[in-house]
C-alpha cells in the first residue's frame, strides 16, 4: 500500500501493531486522527499518556487499577475470604459483567505455557499462595481458560494449595466449551458457571 507521506506511513505502521488492526484499518484511524481538531487530538494523546503513566497494578490482586489497591479489593461489600483466580484483566471484566460474583480476584498475568516461554515464575502464583496464607482465604475458585495450558496451570495451583487442608478449591462449571476464553463467553453462561462451580478435584 503506497502512502504519499513518510510521517503518515510511520503513524500507520505504529497503529497497525495493535491487535487485530491491519494496514487499511490503521490508515483509516491515522487519517481520522489527522483530520480531528487539535483539542480532540490532544485529548486522545492525553488519555494514552495517562494510561501508560498513571495506571497501577493492584498490590493485592494484580488487576489494573487507578490506585495502589483496586476498588474491588477495597470494597467492604465483597467477600474477603473468596478469591477467583483468572488469567488476565479481560476475564475480571467478563465475570464482573455477570453480576453473579461477590468475592475477590487474583490475576495471574497468563498461564503456564513453555512453548510461549511462560513459566511458573512469570506468573503471580507465589503471591496467590501467600494471600491464601496471610488472609485466611476460605475458597479459591480456579477460573482459567479451558485449554491445555489453562488446565496445566489449574493442576499446578491445586497441588500448591493442598498445603491448606481447610481451603475449599473449586472451579467454574464447564458450561464453557473446551478451548474457549472467558472474555468471549456470553454473560449468562459465564454467570451460571460461576454460581454452579464444583470442587476442582471433581472437574
Q: Scanning the structure block, which residue is given the C-alpha cell 488472609?
A: 135
Backbone angles phi, psi at 51, to 5 degrees: -55, -45
CATH 3.40.1360.10 segments of the chain: 64-202
Whole-number pLDDT of residue 157: 97
* Burial of 38 per CB tally in 10 Å (0-12, 13-18, 19+): exposed
Yes or no: is domain 6-54 CATH 1.10.8.420?
yes
**Which residues of the chain fall short of a pLDDT of 50?**
none
Whole-number pLDDT of residue 146: 81
Q: Give the residue ranges of DSSP H helices in 97-142.
A: 125-134
Whole-number pLDDT of residue 41: 95
CA angle 184, 190, 195 (to 5 degrees): 165
Whole-number pLDDT of residue 2: 78
CATH 1.10.8.420 segments of the chain: 6-54
Domain 64-202 architecture:
3-Layer(aba) Sandwich (3.40)
pLDDT tens digit sequence for 49-70: 999 998 889 999 999 999 999 9
Amino acid at each position: 500500500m503506497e502512502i504519499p507521506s513518510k510521517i503518515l506511513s510511520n503513524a500507520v505502521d505504529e497503529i497497525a501493531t495493535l491487535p487485530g488492526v491491519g494496514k487499511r484499518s490503521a490508515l483509516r484511524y491515522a487519517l481520522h486522527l489527522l483530520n480531528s481538531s487539535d483539542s480532540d487530538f490532544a485529548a486522545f494523546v492525553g488519555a494514552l499518556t495517562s494510561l501508560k503513566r498513571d495506571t497501577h497494578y493492584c498490590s493485592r490482586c494484580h488487576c489494573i487499577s487507578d490506585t495502589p489497591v483496586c476498588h474491588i479489593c477495597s470494597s467492604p461489600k465483597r467477600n474477603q475470604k473468596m478469591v477467583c483466580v483468572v488469567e488476565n484483566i479481560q476475564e475480571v471484566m467478563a465475570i464482573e459483567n455477570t453480576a453473579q460474583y461477590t468475592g475477590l480476584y487474583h490475576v495471574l498475568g497468563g498461564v503456564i505455557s513453555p512453548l510461549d516461554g511462560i513459566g511458573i515464575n512469570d506468573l503471580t502464583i507465589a503471591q496467590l499462595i501467600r494471600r491464601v496464607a496471610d488472609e485466611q482465604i476460605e475458597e479459591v475458585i480456579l477460573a482459567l481458560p479451558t485449554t491445555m495450558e489453562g488446565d496445566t496451570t489449574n493442576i499446578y495451583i491445586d497441588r500448591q494449595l493442598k498445603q491448606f487442608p481447610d481451603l475449599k478449591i473449586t472451579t467454574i462449571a464447564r458450561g464453557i466449551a473446551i478451548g474457549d476464553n472467558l472474555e468471549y463467553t456470553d454473560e449468562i453462561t459465564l454467570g451460571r458457571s460461576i454460581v454452579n462451580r464444583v470442587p476442582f478435584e471433581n472437574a
